[in-house]
Amino acid sequence: MKIAILSRNQNLYSTKRLVEAGKQRGHEMVVLDHLKCVLVIEKNKPHIYYRGEKVNGVSAVIPRIGASATFYGAAVVRQFEMMKIFTAVESQALVRSRDKLRSLQLMARAGIGMPKTAFASTTKYVDNLIEQAGGAPVVVKLLEGTQGIGVILAETHASAKSVIEAFLGVKVNLLVQEFVKEAKGIDIRVFVVDGQIVGAMKRQGAEGEFRSNLHRGGSAVALDLSPEEKATAIRSAKKLGLGIAGVDMLQSNRGPLVMEVNSSPGLQGIEGATKVDIASKIIEYVERNEHVD
156, part of any domain: yes
Distance CA 165, CA 184 (A): 27
So what's the pLDDT on residue 214? 52
Q: How many CA atoms lie within 13 A of 40 on its CB side?
A: 12
- Which strand (E) or helix (H) includes residue 19? helix 13-24
101, part of any domain: no
289, part of any domain: no
So what's the pLDDT on residue 219? 79
Average pLDDT over residues 65-89: 96
Claim to verify: residue 172 and residue 205 sit in the same structural domain: no
107, part of any domain: no
| Boundary of a domain, candidates 179, 206, 222 | 179
Amino acid letter, 38: V
So what's the pLDDT on residue 209? 55
151, part of any domain: yes
Claim to verify: residue 197 and residue 170 sit in the same structural domain: no
User: Mean pLDDT, the chain, as a whole number?
Assistant: 92
pLDDT tens figures, 82-108: 999 999 999 999 999 999 999 999 999
Count of domains forming the chain: 3
103, part of any domain: no
Claim to verify: residue 170 and residue 213 sit in the same structural domain: no
| Boundary of a domain, candidates 179, 212, 232 | 179
Strands ordered across the beta sheet of 255-262: 219-222, 196-204, 186-193, 244-252, 255-262
pLDDT tens figures, 178-210: 999 988 889 999 999 999 999 999 998 666 555
Q: Pick from 109, 242, 246: which is nearest to 187 by CA?
A: 246
Claim to verify: residue 175 and residue 192 sit in the same structural domain: no
So what's the pLDDT on residue 122? 87
| Boundary of a domain, candidates 28, 62, 96 | 96
CATH of the domain at 52: 3.40.50.20
Indicate whether 35 pLDDT > 90.
yes
Contact assessment for residue 247 and residue 271, using Cβ atoms and an 8 Å cutoff: no
Contact assessment for residue 61 and residue 3, using Cβ atoms and an 8 Å cutoff: yes
So what's the pLDDT on residue 121? 87
- Which strand (E) or helix (H) includes residue 29? strand 28-32
Claim to verify: residue 77 and residue 158 sit in the same structural domain: no
Distance CA 156, CA 176 (A): 13
Average pLDDT over residues 247-263: 95
Claim to verify: residue 210 and residue 169 sit in the same structural domain: no
Claim to verify: residue 194 and residue 279 sit in the same structural domain: yes
Question: Are β-strands 138-142 and 174-178 bridged in parallel, bridged antiparallel, or unpaired?
Answer: antiparallel
pLDDT band at 145 (very low <50, low <70, confident <90, very high): low
CATH of the domain at 268: 3.30.470.20
Q: Which domain holds residue 164?
A: 117-179
Q: How many CA atoms lie within 13 A of 272 on its CB side?
A: 11
269, part of any domain: yes
Considering Cα of 94, then 96, then 98, then 104, what sign does the dihedral take? negative
Beta strands in 128-218 (DSSP E): 138-142, 151-154, 174-178, 186-193, 196-204
292, part of any domain: no
Claim to verify: residue 170 and residue 189 sit in the same structural domain: no
Beta strands in 205-275 (DSSP E): 219-222, 244-252, 255-262
Distance CA 162, CA 206 (A): 26
Distance CA 150, CA 258 (A): 18
So what's the pLDDT on residue 207? 62
